[in-house]
Structure 1
Amino acid sequence: MDLYDELKTSSLTFSELFGSLLEAARKSSVSVVDFLTLNASELALLIPRSINEIACFQDALRKKLQNQVFEVHPIVEVSQVIPPSVFTTGVDVMDEMLGGGIKTHEITEIFGKSSTGKSQLLMQLSLSVQCPVSEGGLDGKCVFITTEGDLPTKRIDEMIKQKYAEKGAHVSQNNIFTVACHDLSNQEHILTVQLPILLERDRTIKLVVIDSISHHVRAELESKTFKDSQGNRSYVDKTAQNLLQLATSHGIAVVVANQVADKLALDKTVLQSGVKQSIMDYDHQIGWIVGWKDSSIFYRHRLAGLEVKGSNTGHPTTESILSDDEDYNFVARRIMSSQLENRPRDHAMDPGKDELRTQSLDGGCTRQFGTLKTGKKRKLDTQVPNLGLTWANHVSTRILLTKTYKPSALLRKGELDLNKLTDSDSFWQARRTMKLVFAPASKQTQLEFYICDKGIEPVQDHID
């Protein structure tokens, strides 16, 4: 029986009076919800125990549950509630995008693929929260929980020296409590036992960082059956509720990093077999809550609705919906132009004679110079944050970090000699983008940034 999961501190869990009843309930898979929703006579059909014994346990269970609800969530005066506050990210443009900065009393999620800058942003927040209130901080400490390794203290020390050296004792690694979780049970113990105790003892803590929230969950929780998936969703829901309860009761901000997984488009043969999407389906709405491009969303909806028409009907084809890969097309045009300029007049336009190859880093395809063509479309968006809708329902602010590649400045200026290149590394340079997927009272915007000694810095102002 799940009594211990629902009422960990209840004396009913270890009561000798109801020991036999609880064991019978466990063997019959009767839960706490069953005891609260079914009457004694109905439960007697499921459990080989007397109606009087069951009714007595139900009364005790209801009293214990009611006491726990009011003890955990007592009714308090409005004047005693800690009001929400905001602290800076350390970047003015980013604060403007977020409606002032990172907010307390809620969960902020930062998701993206590996090497997009998630950990860099989290470390920067652990320092900016320590700044004085007059400078946008909360003059508070941070708890930094890691699940994928130890906290890179050398990198934090570098950021302090480069950006916060003038703050003196206000910003220091001494104000960061750090702990590493090595498995899921260790993570659960830290979040449900150690963290609440620490927050009670030190009221100056204003930020809790988890990097990342889904690492052990996706590795250890199996989902082979429907019952497994239901249990996993319940676990994720309880984890999120616990974090929200800590955020509201202690007036802190909870910022987590989340990993991503692929959400591939359904095969046409599957769709043609009768699978349809509704506007109420999660899959139909997923594009907007994970930050996909509008072209990818429209593409998937047209495909899932079996509304794709051929070009001979006068309707746009599915491929025409996807946005053009302008960066790749620019490189392709420059390469082809360079070939034509340097080709001998008597040299036939034979693609097979052009041996040098280039590679599109974001497209992943290799082509010969002579066969490069413009008009290439960008890849379909497939990345979604882990933990699904169950987790997303508890997230107030979701930020997407991406890393793509754009033509290098030398190539755009025409200062790159394409005839002397042996690989494509000089064609491209990293482009990092931060996109606000959703947040309270903030519109969906994005900005381009780079990572330097100081941490994360914007490349330019807002890009709408």
Structure 2
Amino acid sequence: MTDLSRVLPGFPTAQYAGLLPALENNKVTTAELLTLDIADLGKRTKLPLLDLKRLCNAVLEALHVDLGVSEKQPDKPSALKQTASDLAQRWSTISTLDESLDQALGGGVPTGYVTEIVGESGAGKTQFLLTMLLAVQLPPPHGLGRPALYISTEAPLSTTRLAQMLRRNPFFKDLDKKPTLDRIMSTATPDLESQEHILQYQVPVQVERHNVGLIVLDSVAANYRAEYERGGSLGSNMAARSADLIRMGHLLHDLARRHNLAVVVANQVMDRIPSSHSGGGTPGLFAIKSSVAATPKQPPRLALPRALAAPPGAEPTSSLADMVGVRSSMPEPPPEDPPAPASLLLDHQNRWVTGWGDDPYADPNHFKTPTLGLVWSTQIASRIALLKRPVYGRKEIIEDEDLPGGGVALRNWRRWMKVVFAPHVPGTGQGLDGAVEFEVNMGGLKSIEKDKE
């Protein structure tokens, strides 16, 4: 079939070799095989109904086994019948090496899922990822005791910064077995073609060979933006880009679930311009139209023939149509459709999945939105937004012997971590309500206590 090898890579296709070519020629998908009536499939493919029914049952049973809900696995309890203690034993996370940040994340970044770290440039995304490359090597409960794989699409892996974290983070001082840079594998994908090849063929081999516990992709949007937004042709390539994103999301999720590892991707943001329907921000076309219509303006005077001119002393008419007594033969334009309710607009729905805009008192002109759109948002399980704001007024001076320029730096940004959505922990409240403020220091990430504000 068209997608059977992608949905069930281990399905025994040799037993049904006589059926698959006809299904492939008629473009029958796995979902259609399981949902359509057998008689309809037989008319469409001209295949025996009994053989189609056997194939449907085999595919359905293979899906049950793949999801862990099959009753034919006595040695493995069904996922639908597992207790809370069974799920707790399988649950594992990778720590951020900070107690407050871990508490907001429900213990850390979970394995078996695809997690996204999104934020502006300088918000701390790379620092977050580098910390996890070291933390995954720690034994449970802070790590998995496994190596990490770093895939870069922009800048190469900063080994100098990793060595600095190892030396300055207080969490590593008293450890007998510290993380090492030797257990961090890295590769670069300068374009979309090499990225797809590495993710599909090379990464699975490395994961099985070295028992990788963490895959980091920094960043997920760089190659897609360079490939599909070139020359302003994003609209014509939207369908192809959406298909590529869905395929990559399925591949990353399959790696995370099959090998019980964590997949963490960094994403960029772009400015979001509010439309006129959203009720905020810069006025749009409708506001311009209303302002023009509200301005009283005299219509231009028309030169009429002498026979149609009004006689002296006659009262002025209201319009040319009333004066002439005729109507246009052209059909009247249909009335405009009423605007959609605010709850159905994209601007309203984006605020609940992007991390920006859910604060009713925020300035809509400063909203951001993660790149790759809603299609990519459906491919990830968790989204963690890193927000930053400038510090106005007197700047705080930091003295550190490892800093260049005499050991003095200026702190002029405040940063927060916010859980937008996740399957294992509730999301943060509106705006910065419930978000954890943190700073980036020589050892990595460190939360700021509220009493110090």
Task: Normalising by structure 2, report the TM-score.
Answer: 0.64
Q: CA deviation at 1:159?
A: 0.8
Matches of 2:62 and 2:148 in 1, distance apart? 29
Alignment-derived partner of residue 180 in structure 2? 172
Matches of 1:39 and 1:294 in 2, distance apart? 44
Deviations 1:25-46 (A, max 9, x none): 6xxx997878888899999999
Alignment-derived partner of residue 149 in structure 1? 155
Does the CA contact (< 8 Å) of 1:138 and 1:206 recur in 2? yes
Does the CA contact (< 8 Å) of 1:108 and 1:254 recur in 2? yes
Q: CA deviation at 1:236?
A: 1.8
Shifted more, 32-41 versus 230-239: the winner is: 32-41
SS in structure 1 at match of 2:207: helix
Deviations 1:339-378 (A, max 9, x none): xxxxxxxxxxxxxxxxxxxxxxxxxxxxxxxxxxxxxxx5
Does the CA contact (< 8 Å) of 2:221 and 2:372 recur in 1? yes
Does the CA contact (< 8 Å) of 1:258 and 1:386 recur in 2? yes
Does the CA contact (< 8 Å) of 2:252 and 2:263 recur in 1? yes
Matches of 2:21 and 2:126 in 1, distance apart? 50
Q: CA deviation at 1:60?
A: 10
**Aligned AA for 1:247?**
A
Does the CA contact (< 8 Å) of 2:119 and 2:386 recur in 1? yes
- 355, 370, 379: which is aligned to 1:291? 355
> For the pair shown, which has the larger CA radius of gyration, 1 or 2?
2
Matches within 5 A, 1:38-437: 52=46, 69=63, 75=70, 76=73, 77-78=76-77, 83-133=90-140, 136-163=142-169, 164-203=172-211, 205-221=212-228, 228-267=237-276, 268-271=283-286, 274-295=338-359, 298=360, 322=361, 380-409=365-394, 429-437=412-420
Matches of 1:130 and 1:294 in 2, distance apart? 36
Matches of 1:427 and 1:176 in 2, distance apart? 32
Q: 1:289 to 1:70 in 2, by over 3 A?
A: closer
Structure 2, unaligned runs of 5 or more: 277-282, 288-335, 398-408
Alignment-derived partner of residue 310 in structure 1? none
Deviations 1:32-86 (A, max 9, x none): 878888899999999xxxx758999978986896687578556451399971112
Matches of 2:149 and 2:396 in 1, distance apart? 45
- 442, 445, 448: which is aligned to 1:453? 442
Alignment-derived partner of residue 298 in structure 2? none
Q: 1:411 to 1:451 in 2, by over 3 A?
A: closer
Does the CA contact (< 8 Å) of 1:262 and 1:382 recur in 2? yes
Does the CA contact (< 8 Å) of 1:260 and 1:383 recur in 2? yes
Q: CA deviation at 1:156?
A: 0.6
Task: Normalising by structure 1, report the TM-score.
Answer: 0.63
SS in structure 2 at match of 1:167: coil
**Aligned AA for 1:289?**
V
Q: CA deviation at 1:87?
A: 3.0
Does the CA contact (< 8 Å) of 1:260 and 1:386 recur in 2? yes
* Larger helix fraction of residues: 1
Shifted more, 116-125 versus 382-391: the winner is: 382-391
Does the CA contact (< 8 Å) of 2:428 and 2:435 recur in 1? no
Matches of 2:203 and 2:51 in 1, distance apart? 33
Structure 1, unaligned runs of 5 or more: 299-321, 324-377, 413-425
SS in structure 2 at match of 1:110: strand
SS in structure 2 at match of 1:400: strand
Does the CA contact (< 8 Å) of 1:446 and 1:463 recur in 2? no
Deviations 1:207-260 (A, max 9, x none): 221111222122224695878434432332232232222222222222111111
SS in structure 2 at match of 1:289: coil
Q: 1:244 to 1:404 in 2, by over 3 A?
A: same
Matches of 1:286 and 1:430 in 2, distance apart? 26
Matches of 1:30 and 1:200 in 2, distance apart? 32
Q: CA deviation at 1:448?
A: 2.4
Q: CA deviation at 1:182?
A: 1.9
Matches of 2:452 and 2:217 in 1, distance apart? 29
Q: CA RMSD in A?
A: 4.3
Matches of 1:38 and 1:447 in 2, distance apart? 49
Does the CA contact (< 8 Å) of 2:217 and 2:266 recur in 1? yes
Q: CA deviation at 1:195?
A: 2.3
Shifted more, 136-145 versus 84-93: the winner is: 136-145
SS in structure 1 at match of 2:155: coil
Q: CA deviation at 1:106?
A: 1.9
Alignment-derived partner of residue 353 in structure 1? none
Q: 1:44 to 1:226 in 2, by over 3 A?
A: farther
